[in-house]
Amino acid sequence: MKELAKNKNIVFLIIVAALGYFVDIYDLILFSVIRVKSLKGLGITNPDQLLNKGVFLINCQMVGMLIGGILWGILGDKKGRLWVLFGSILTYSIANIANGFVVNVEQYAILRFIAGVGLAGELGAGITLITESMSKENRGYGTMLIAGIGLLGAVVAAQVGGHFDWQTAYLVGGIMGLVLLVMRIGVFESGMFHKVKTANVEKGNFLMLLSSGNRFKRFINSILIAVPVWFVIGILVTFADNFGKAMGATEELNPGKGIMYAYIGIALGDFLSGTLSQVFKTRKKIVYAFLTATLFSVLYFLNSRGFNAQFFHIMCFIMGLATGYWVVFVTMGAEQFGTNLRATVATSVPNFVRGSVVLVTLAFKALISSVGVINSGLIVGCTTIFIAYIALWNLEETYGKDLDYVESDSHSTIKKHSAVTDN
C-alpha cells in the first residue's frame, strides 16, 4: 500500500480503472435488475415468455461479451491497453443510450449484443495496466481496489433500476460511461507494453493460446475456476422468482434486490480475498477457501424451504461474499501469461466466464423438465464447483511472479524481453 501513497500516477490509474469497472458492472447487471420491468414495458406479460425472452436476451449479451473478450484482448496486445479502455467504453455507452429507445425485443437483443461486445474490454485492460505498472509484491492491492470498488456498480444498478423506469436506467449508464471517457485522457500506458511493442514477437495472437498444450491448459483452467461465481449470479439470483415459487417462499422474491445484496457481498469478499492473498502470499489457497464457502452456501440455500424475502437477501449476501474471489481470479489470469498475450488473456478470461452463463443456463433449463428447478440448480451448481476445484489444482501459484516476459513458440514457452528484442 506504500506504493500507492508515493505514486500519484498509480493512484489515478486505479481510480479511473475502478470507476470504469463500476460503470461496466452497472451496465452488465442492469438487465438482470430490470429484466421483468423492461420486457413488460415491451408488451410481454406471460410468465413463461418472461423467462424465455429473459434467457434469450442474457445470452445475446453474453455472446457479445465472448466475442468482445477476444476482440478487445487482441487489440489490447497489438494496439495498447489504453486503446481498449477508450474504445470499449465508447461502444457500450452508445449502446446503452440507444437501449433506452428500443420498441421491440429484436432491437433489444441487437443492442444487448453490441453492449456485451463493448463491456468485454473494460476489466481486462484495467487489470493488465495495474499488474504491469505496480510492483509484484503490491499489485494485488491495486487489483483488489479496482474489483472491490467496481463491483459496487451493481448496487447502484439495483437502486437506479428499482426507482426509475427502465429507459432512464439505461440512459444513466450510457451518460456515466461518456463522462468517464473524458476522465481517461490523463491515464498512461504500461511500460511493459512499450517494451514489447517494438519487439519481434507475436502480439495478441489468440491462436497461440490454442497451439500450445501448456498455454491452453493455463487458459482453460483460468476460466473454469470462476464459473461458480456466474452460476450464483446468473442462475440462483437472476431467476430467484422461479426458485422462490419452487421452494415455497412466503413472499415473491425480487431478483433486482437479490443482485444488490449479492454484489455487496462480492465487493466485500473481493476486499477480503484480495487482502488475504497479499497477507498470506498465496492466490490458490485463498481461492480454495472461497470455493468451499461457495459450495456450502449454495447447498444451504437450495435446501431451504418456506423462507421470506429477508432470508433470501441474507443468503444472497452470504453467497456473494463466498464468491468474492473474483479479484484474485482475474489477477491470477493476468499473472499466468507473458506481456505479449497478457491483455488477450486478462480480457478474454473474465468474459469467457461471463459467457459461460449461456451454457449454464441452457443446462439449467434442459434439466428443469426432468428434475425440477431446485434439483436442476443443485446439479448444475455442484458440477461447476467440482470442475473449478480441478481447474484450480492445475494452475500454478502466481503471487510475486515476475511478469516482465513474453510467450513464444520458437523456443521454450517463455522468453525474457531481452531474448526477443533482437530476433
Q: CA-to-CA distance for 196 and 205, rounded, in angstroms?
A: 14
Q: CA-to-CA distance for 144 and 148, rounded, in angstroms?
A: 6
Block residue for cell numbers 493460446: 209
Q: What is the sign, positive or negative, of the torsion defined by CA atoms of 400, 405, 407, 410? A: negative
Q: CA-to-CA distance for 282 and 340, rounded, in angstroms?
A: 25
- The pTM of the full predicted model, rounded to 2 decimals, is 0.82
Nearest CA among 162, 168, 155, 152 for reference residue 34: 162
Q: CA-to-CA distance for 233 and 126, rounded, in angstroms?
A: 23
Among 283-297, 347-361, 372-386, name the one with the lowest average pLDDT.
347-361
Tell me the pLDDT tens digit for each residue of 299-337: 999 999 999 999 999 999 999 999 999 889 988 998 999
Q: Structural domain boundaries of the chain?
A: 2-420
Q: Rounded mean pLDDT of the chain? A: 87
Distance of CA 376 to the CA centre of its chain: 24
Tell me the pLDDT tens digit for each residue of 101-116: 998 999 999 999 999 9
CATH class (in words) of the domain with range 2-420: mainly alpha
Tell me the pLDDT tens digit for each residue of 8-67: 788 888 888 888 888 888 987 788 788 888 999 999 988 888 878 887 888 888 889 889
Q: What angle do CA 39, 45, 229 make, to 5 degrees?
A: 50
Percent of the chain beyond pLDDT 70? 95
Block residue for cell numbers 429484466: 35
